[in-house]
Each structure stands twice: as structure tokens, then as C-alpha cells.
Chain A
Amino acid sequence: MGDLLLEQLTWGNALIFFLSAVVLLMIVLGFVTYAIYFERKVIGWMQLRIGPNRVGPFGLLQTVADILKLLLKEDTIPRKADRALFILAPVLAYVPAFAVLAVIPYTDSLYFADLNVGLLYYVALSGITTLAIVLGGWASNNKYALLGGMRSAAQMISYEVPLVISIVGVVMLSGSLNLRTIVAEQGNWFWEWNFLPQIIGFVVFVIAAVSELNRTPFDLPEAESELVAGYHVEYSGFRFAFFMLTEYVYVYAIAALTTILFLGGWHAPAPFLDFVPGLLWFMLKFACIVFFLFWLRATFPRVRVDQLMGFGWKVLLPLAILNVFVTAAYIEFFIKR
């Protein structure tokens, strides 16, 4: 991929880019299918249940069956809904979720777009999904959907601020927004990766990321006991599937981004472990973060809505800003000169 990027653009090269993006799309869809299966299985085991085990061997085809079912469901659009916006919302939610994956590097040589503003691109595009959620809630013309959409938007914008400020420290240490450079700047021993020097930023990032994903303990927008299902009450069939798909594609994106920013990307934890390919290290770290998200869901109760906003603005935001200045002072007095 790296060599092709440096060549003059031809139709042949553009076709290769397109096909490799299609391959990534297939990988992501496969990831989403089995992440849902794995999530149900893991939570089942943690709660002393078995989890899905009927469709296919070990229930492996359960999610495939679910997707087929959603595809064959009748698609109902309420008469009072704003039809154009109602149809647009799931698409608008999904497009940025997939587009952010363009800047994720997997190893030193395996990456797609090598943008110098990679991190900014990620942050900017992932913000668009909030818009789609408000749109879905508003277009449904349903009280639950509107309240769920508003709540979701308020939560997502409140946690987006600490999320983007918490990674400023990482940007300062590597002096670049390019995700490949950020990985390359992290050392060969695991204590040289950003998660230890940037421990405050790392913790704030993980908490804010879980909240951005609308996952437990921050899954208030979908609080089934109070808001039925939140912004997608009125959605059925495949339109609903696209909202779910968006959530899981963001799980993929956030897990990859955490690996890159804080866990050293494709670096081995110690130099003598270098014989294992970088891609395997990347996948291992990635899988750990995905497991961590599922683990959280099985163990944590939901946060109360009045504590949620206060926590974001009063705790996470000051901590993230503190982290920026601690890092700045550290660079000023220890790294420079």
C-alpha cells in the first residue's frame, strides 16, 4: 500500500485502492458479526449462562441468522415521520463510521490513507454521527425517539470534549497528528508506550470513549427501562440494522485508535519479542480492548442520568486539561535541551 501511495495515480492504482477498501469492508462486517456473537457468549459465561448455541456449531451462525432476519423484515415508516430525513439518518450515521477507518494503520507497511492530519480527520468525522442520531430522533416524530436522541446528543457532545482534549498530550509527545508517526514515536519497551507517560490522558480517553460508544455504563440513550429504545424506536428492519452496525463499527474504530495512540500499535512489548509479526501484536491489543468493552457491559450498572453530565464536565474535562499542561511542563523541563 505504501509504495502505491507514492506513485502517480492511474486507473489501475485507483482500482487496487477500491478493491482493498472493499476487502477492509468485508473484514469489518465479519468483525461486527462475530463481535456480536462473542459479546453475547462472553456476557453469557460471565452470568453463568451458555449464550447462543443453537444456530450452527456452537451458535456460530446466530448473528448471520439475525442479520438475514432483519433483511427480510417489513420496513415500516410511520405516517407522521419526516420521510426523507428518516431514510437519511441511518445512512448518515454509518458513512462517517466507515470513513474514519481510512486513516487507521495496522502495521508499518499495511495502512490505507497516510494523512498528516489523521487524528483530526478521525475526530472531525466521528462527530457527524451525533448529527445523524439527532436527525433520527427528530424525523421519527415520536416523543421517546426525540428525548432519546436529544439525550444521546447531549451525552455525545459532552464526552467528545474530554475525548479530544485527552489525546492532545499524545500529540505533544509525538509532535504529529499522523497516526503512523504517533506509533513510530512510541518506544520498543512496553513502559515507553504512551499509556504510562500519559496515564491521566489514557484513563480519561477510555472513559470518554466508552461514553461516545453509548455502551454500558453510559448506555442511557438506549435505556430500555425508561425510553423504550431511545432514538431508534421507530426504526425497523435493515434501517435499524444500520444503527447497530454503526455502533459496532465504532467499537472497531475506537479499539484500533486506542491501540495506536496508547498501546504502541504494532510494537512488541519487548524488543526480543520482535520475531512475532507486528500485525499479530496489533490484533492482540485490539482484541483485549474489545474484550474489555464487553467485560464492562457484564459487570457495571448503568450510570444515573444526573451524574452523567456532571461527571463529564466537572471531572473528565478538568482532568484532560490538567493532563495537557502536565505534559507541556514535562516536555519543557525534561525533554527539551
Chain B
Amino acid sequence: MEKYINNYVIVAIFILLGILLPVVALTAGRILRPSKPSTEKQTTYESGNIPVGEGQVRFNIRYYLFALMFVIFDVETVFLYPWAVAYQQLGLFVLVEMLIFVSLLLVGLLYAWKKKVLKWNSI
């Protein structure tokens, strides 16, 4: 079991390298690249016009509904994965149980479908 830690050492090394590369590259870039800031360069890009109002505009409520559905179905996968790993040792009973669980969630999907949540009509 303590040897299994080795695998996580490798994972840690990968994450460390993942942080190291951008840090090194951006630091090297800072030395190499020119820096002549001007007010025009630092304005927010808006197709060449002077920006109007705030950049962080209100966005469609639809994104929030998608996020909610994502949370529901992602939690479903959290239950599906251990079930799938152990499935070959388990019986017909768990299959029926999972069928009930998933169909409850599918009712929710159908409800969202009927409520036209999945229909896209603007940005």
C-alpha cells in the first residue's frame, strides 16, 4: 500500500511541471519581449470603437439552467462509476435499482425539455 504512494508522487510531479512551464516561459518572455504600454493599447477591445459601458455585462439566465442540469447529471455519474466497476459482481437487483435512479433523473430531463430549457433562442 505504501508503494502505491509512488503513483501519486508522479501525479504531483506532473502538476508541478504543469505549473513550472508557464512560470518559466512567461518569466523568460518578460525578459525578451518589449514593453511600451500606452493608453490606446490598454483599452478594452471592442472592434476599434471606444468601449461602451461595463465589460461584465449581464448574460442570459439560460447558462445558469445548463449549469444546474450539469450538476445533477454529474452527480449521477459519481454514482454510476462505482456501480459500473462493481457491476460484474452484483446481481440483477442493482441493475433494477440503477434503472429506477436514472429514470427519476430522466423525468427531470424530460421536464426541462418540455419547459423549453434546452431550446436556444438568443445569445
Give residues in A with beta carbon < 8 Å to B. 4-9, 13-14, 17-18, 21-22, 25, 71-81, 90-91, 94-99, 101-103, 112-115, 120-121, 123, 138, 140-147, 150-151, 153-154, 157-158, 160-161, 164-165, 168-169, 171-172, 175-177, 228, 233-234, 237-239, 242, 305-306, 308-310, 313-314, 317-318, 321, 324-325, 328-329, 331-332, 335-336
A157 touches B41 (CB 8 A): no
Q: A18-B13, A21-B17, A310-B120 are in contact. Are A140 and B55 (CB under 8 A)?
A: yes
Nearest B residue to A165 via CB reads B77
Do A91 and B42 touch across chains, with their CB atoms under 8 A apart? no
**Cα separation A72 to B8 with both chains bound (whole Å):** 37
* CB contact list, B58-102 vs A, under 8 A: 59-60, 62-63, 66-67, 69-70, 73-74, 76-77, 80-81, 84-89, 92, 95, 98-99, 102
Asked if A157 contacts B45 (CB within 8 A), the reply is no
Q: Are B44 and A78 in contact (CB under 8 A)?
A: yes
A78's partner among B18, B42, B77 (CB-CB below 8 A) is: B42
Question: Smallest Cβ distance from A292 to chain B, in angstroms?
Answer: 26
Set A4, A318, A328: member contacting B87, Cβ < 8 A:
A328
Known contacts A14-B9, A150-B63; A71 and B28 CB within 8 A of each other: yes
Contact among A9, A18, A80, A309 with B5 in the assembled complex (CB-CB below 8 Å): A9
8 extra interchain contacts, Cβ-Cβ under 8 A, other than A142-B45, A143-B57? Answer: A7-B6, A21-B13, A22-B17, A76-B41, A115-B8, A177-B81, A237-B29, A318-B106
Contact: B99 with A101, CB < 8 Å?
Answer: no
**Are A172's CB and B84's CB within 8 A?**
yes
- Distance A161 CA – B7 CA, assembled complex (angstroms): 27
| Chain B interface main SS type | helix
Given A17-B9, A90-B22: A331 in contact with B88 (beta carbons within 8 A): yes
> Which residue of chain A has the shortest Cβ distance to B55 in the bound complex?
A141
Q: Is the CB of A144 within 8 A of B45?
A: yes
Asked whether any CB of chain A lies closer than 8 Å to the CB of B25, the reply is yes
Q: Is the CB of A74 within 8 A of B34?
A: yes
Please give the distance in Å from A91's CB to the nearest CB on chain B: 4
Residue ranges of B at the interface with A (Cβ–Cβ < 8 Å)? 2-3, 5-11, 13-15, 17-19, 21-23, 25-26, 28-30, 32-37, 39, 41-47, 51, 54-57, 59-60, 62-63, 66-67, 69-70, 73-74, 76-77, 80-81, 84-89, 92, 95, 98-99, 102, 106, 109, 112-113, 118-121, 123
Chain B residues, Cβ within 8 Å of A150: 59-60, 63
Residues B77 and A242 in contact, CB atoms below 8 Å apart: no
Chain A residue at minimal CB-CB distance from B94:
A328
In the complex, 15 of the A-B residue pairs with CB atoms within 8 angstroms, ordered by the A residue number, are: A5-B6, A73-B33, A91-B22, A98-B17, A154-B66, A157-B67, A171-B81, A172-B87, A177-B81, A228-B45, A306-B120, A308-B120, A317-B109, A318-B109, A335-B88
Candidate in A9, A238, A308 with the most chain B CB atoms within 10 angstroms: A238
Contact of A6 among B3, B34, B84, B109 (CB under 8 A): B3
Taking CB atoms, residues of chain A closer than 8 Å to B89 are 175
Identify which of A103, A112, A238, A305 contacts B26 (C-beta below 8 A).
A238
Q: Could you say which of A74, A81, A143, A329 contacts B36, with CB atoms under 8 Å apart? A: A74
Contacts of B77 in A (CB 8 A): 123, 161, 164-165, 168
Contact A171 B84, beta carbon cutoff 8 Å: yes
Minimum CB–CB distance for A178 against chain B, Å:
10
Contact B120 A317 (CB under 8 A): no
Query: What are the residues of chain B within 8 A of A113 when measuring CB–CB?
Result: 7-8, 10-11, 14
Assembled-state Cα–Cα distance A171/B113 (Å) = 29
B45 & A94 in contact (Cβ 8 Å cutoff): no
In the bound complex, residues from chain B placing their C-beta under 8 Å from that of A21 are: 10, 13-14, 17
Q: Are B33 and A74 in contact (CB under 8 A)?
A: yes
Q: Which residues of chain B are near A242, meaning CB under 8 Å?
A: 22, 25
Other-chain residue from A75, A103, A332 in contact with B92 (beta carbon distance below 8 A): A332
